Amino acid sequence: MRIDLHTHSDVSDGTTSPAQVVADAAQAGLDVVALTDHDTTAGWDEAERAAADVGIGLIRGIEVSCTYLGRSVHLLVYLPDPTYPPLVEALQRVLDGRDQRTPRILAALREAGIDLDEADVARESRSAAAVGRPHIADALVRRGVVADRDEAFDRYLSAGRPGYIQRYAVPLEEMLAIVAGAGGVAVLAHPWGRYGGSVLDADALAALAGQGLAGLEVDHQDHDPRRRASLRRIAGDLGLVVTGSSDYHGTGKSGHDLGCNTTDPAELERLLALAAESARRAGRRTPEVWIPRIPR
Ligand code: AMP
Ligand code: ZN
Ligand code: FE
Ligand code: FE
């Protein structure tokens, strides 16, 4: 039983369609995959149909852009009611912030002598609901300014670089409350990775567990073995679910192949039980989740 709980499609900054992500997940030998595009549920229906076609389990998720103590933190939200108005409204705020940021990044790049326009970005983002820096990076690659996304971030788009512009993200505590209201469950994505790292210490994680956080994404490529061991211990102490995932972005991010990290079936079972309880408490409809039977 192989389970990967964090992937991206071209509905955000992955490079393949939701259906293709699911088909590739089956091809990679996964039994369960979660589609967790940034700040949108737009890929869910297509992924659902593909999962039924190829016969693997799909977990509907979102990777929500949050802030905590002034830092950017990513929250994986699984199985919320996507029609819950406060959730819809919060995601719209983030998507609006993304759309407002793009022209400002382009202006900053122009300032730095790089002439890129909105049409260049639109060519890369196509029908994506969540337009992000990776699409601007792709436009820079197409223009021959940089060789790949990594170089685009390193030279232009990361914090402190000439094209960096902040955008709106949801305060983490507010998002945890929204997830509870939407009948979903929340797992901190790569808590000690590139984002969040310094503010999410053991005390902060304990406080967040008290505010409804359900789990920690321990096994992620951004975490070395020592960090994984420490995070696993903290999760155990706090009774948090431990997940592992690829954070697959198609060809947009190397070293994140589908299934490169996986989640223990017993941990998925705990997560699904928490989701069912959350939905019941919120009075929301629990989405049907078809999972190949978890062997005991
Ligand atoms: P945004 O959410 O638009 O601000 O862009 C941040 C996203 O870009 C992250 O969630 C990653 O998926 C992606 N990203 C960040 N750094 C890199 C990098 N060096 N190469 C490729 N993708 C990156
Ligand atoms: Zn991404
Ligand atoms: Fe992330
Ligand atoms: Fe991600």
H runs (alpha helix) in the chain? 18-27, 44-54, 85-111, 118-125, 133-142, 149-152, 172-181, 202-210, 225-238, 265-282
Q: Bigger pLDDT: 293 or 240?
A: 240
What is the rounded distance in angstroms from the CA atom of residue 289 to the CA atom of residue 272? 9
Whether residue 118 has its Cβ less than 6 Å from ligand 1: no
The string of pLDDT tens digits covering residues 128-152 is 999 999 999 999 999 999 999 999 9
pLDDT recorded at residue 290:
74
Residue 197 has what DSSP assignment?
Answer: G
> Which residue minimizes the CA distance to atom 16 of ligand 1?
153
pLDDT recorded at residue 196:
56
Which ligand is nearest the CA of 62, by number? 4
Q: Bigger pLDDT: 35 or 288?
A: 35
pLDDT recorded at residue 285:
80
Rounded to 10 deg, the angle between the 18-27 and 44-54 helix axes is 30
> Which residue minimizes the CA distance to atom 6 of ligand 1?
133
Residue range 93-104: average pLDDT? 98
For residue 120, CA distances in Å to 58, 101, 226, 249 come to: 33, 15, 42, 20
Strand locations in the chain (E): 3-4, 32-35, 57-68, 71-78, 170-171, 185-188, 215-219, 241-244
Whether residue 132 has its Cβ less than 6 Å from ligand 1: yes
Residue range 193-213: average pLDDT? 89
Whether residue 153 has its Cβ less than 6 Å from ligand 1: yes
Centroid of chain to Cα 16: 15
Q: Is the pLDDT of residue 261 over 90?
A: yes
Nearest-atom number in ligand 1 for the CA of 13 is 12
Whether residue 253 has its Cβ less than 6 Å from ligand 1: yes
What is the rounded distance in angstroms from the CA atom of residue 154 to the CA atom of residue 146? 10
Of 78, 119, 109, 77, give the one whose Cα is nearest residue 94.
Answer: 77
Centroid of chain to Cα 188: 9
Residue 119 has what DSSP assignment?
Answer: H
Q: Is the pLDDT of residue 253 over 70?
A: yes
pLDDT band at 195 (very low <50, low <70, confident <90, very high): low
Query: What residues does 170 pair with on adjacent strands?
Result: 66
pLDDT band at 88 (very low <50, low <70, confident <90, very high): very high
Whether residue 256 has its Cβ less than 6 Å from ligand 1: no
pLDDT recorded at residue 37:
98
CB 33 within 8 A of CB 2: no
Q: Please measure the distance between the N-terminal and C-terminal CA atoms of the chain and give it in whole angstroms.
A: 11
* Residue 82 amino acid letter: P
pLDDT band at 288 (very low <50, low <70, confident <90, very high): confident
Whether residue 149 has its Cβ less than 6 Å from ligand 1: yes
Residue range 256-282: average pLDDT? 97
Residue range 196-217: average pLDDT? 92
What is the rounded distance in angstroms from the CA atom of residue 137 to the CA atom of residue 129? 17
Query: Would you state the structure tokens that stand for residue 286, as one six-digit string?
Result: 């629990």
From the CA of 5, how far away is ligand 2's center (Å)?
14
From the CA of 125, how far away is ligand 2's center (Å)?
12
What is the rounded distance in angstroms from the CA atom of residue 111 to the CA atom of residue 115? 9
Nearest-atom number in ligand 1 for the CA of 98 is 3
From the CA of 256, how far away is ligand 2's center (Å)?
11
Phi–psi pair at 73, nearest 5 degrees:
-135, 140
pLDDT band at 71 (very low <50, low <70, confident <90, very high): very high
pLDDT recorded at residue 296:
46
* Residue 33 amino acid letter: V
Is residue 39 classed as helix, strand or coil in its secondary structure?
Answer: coil
pLDDT band at 294 (very low <50, low <70, confident <90, very high): low
Cβ neighbours of residue 279 under 8 Å, at least 6 residues apart? 79, 81, 183, 184, 285, 286
Strand locations in 189-239 (E): 215-219
The string of pLDDT tens digits covering residues 208-224 is 999 999 999 999 999 99
Q: Is the pLDDT of residue 54 over 80?
A: yes
> Which residue minimizes the CA distance to atom 2 of ligand 1?
132
Q: Is the pLDDT of residue 65 over 60?
A: yes
From the CA of 253, how far away is ligand 2's center (Å)?
8
> Which residue minimizes the CA distance to atom 19 of ligand 1?
150
To test ligand 1's pocket by mutation, which of 12, 13, 155, 221 has the most ligand atoms within 8 angstroms of CB? 13
For residue 157, CA distances in Å to 64, 132, 151, 278 come to: 20, 10, 9, 38
Nearest-atom number in ligand 1 for the CA of 131 is 3
The string of pLDDT tens digits covering residues 7-35 is 999 999 999 999 999 999 999 999 999 99
Q: Bigger pLDDT: 281 or 294?
A: 281
Whether residue 150 has its Cβ less than 6 Å from ligand 1: yes
pLDDT band at 295 (very low <50, low <70, confident <90, very high): low
Nearest-atom number in ligand 1 for the CA of 63 is 10
CB atoms within 10 A of CB 97: 16
pLDDT band at 50 (very low <50, low <70, confident <90, very high): very high
Whether residue 247 has its Cβ less than 6 Å from ligand 1: no
CB 51 within 8 A of CB 58: yes
